[in-house]
Amino acid sequence: MVDKLEVSLEKIKKTADVPEGYIRVSGPIEHDNIVNGEGLRAVLWTQSCPIHCFGCQNPETWDYTKGTLVKIEDIKKELASFKGQSGLTFCGGEPFVQPKACKEIADFVRKELGWNVWSFTGFTHEIIKKTGGDAWEFLKSLDVIIDGPFVLEQRDLSLRFRGSRNQRLLRLEIGTGKILSIE
């Protein structure tokens, strides 16, 4: 029998088929957002998700062929034009199936704009670490992940930045991916 961890490991390997220098997004970049992380934030909505949680609020973001292919350089220019933001949050879709593109953008906003970087992911920290490669490199560039799939039976509207009780808000050490705290 294939266990849940193996299923997740197979899914995270199903990376989006995106040309070098591009990212597949599901909608316009937001700014001045106050609900997808702390402070005033830009939010990048990625396209493609292999997890398919029952009760997902964004099923239109699952398809690997839909959304829009955008040049990473154009994303950077748009982000740099936003004033007064304290950070960027990657939402999905599943950002970790486009880890190289997301890491390039994360490194840009940290180094060039001085922002912190958060990402939502339906995978757990443990699965991303076990996967290694580009997914782990992206995680190591983040301040915070909100990890784990959305589980409808565990939905809790009182949670901060999370949809269900199994999900965790993990503060990470930049450069190592070490978990500093769990909420």
Residues that bind ligand SF4 (CB under 6 A): 49, 51-53, 56, 58, 61, 92-94, 122, 149-150
Instruction: Give me the least distance between CB of 24 and ligand SF4, in Å please.
Output: 13
Q: Which is closer to ligand SF4, CB of 55 or CB of 114?
A: 55
- Rounded to a whole number of angstroms, the CA Rg of the chain reads 15
Instruction: Give me the least distance between CB of 31 and ligand SF4, in Å please.
Output: 21
Phi, psi of 69 (to 5 degrees): -85, 125
List alpha helices for the chain, DSSP H: 4-12, 72-81, 99-108, 125-131, 133-140
Instruction: Give me the least distance between CB of 126 and ligand SF4, in Å please.
Output: 16
Strand, helix or coil for residue 103: helix
Instruction: Give me the least distance between CB of 55 and ligand SF4, in Å please.
Output: 8
Q: Which is closer to ligand SF4, CB of 85 or CB of 89?
A: 89
Q: Which is closer to ligand SF4, CB of 113 or CB of 151?
A: 151
Q: Which is closer to ligand SF4, CB of 58 or CB of 166?
A: 58
Q: Would you tell me how many other CB atoms lie within 10 Å of the CB of residue 64?
A: 17
Contacts of 126 (CB under 8 A, 6+ apart): none
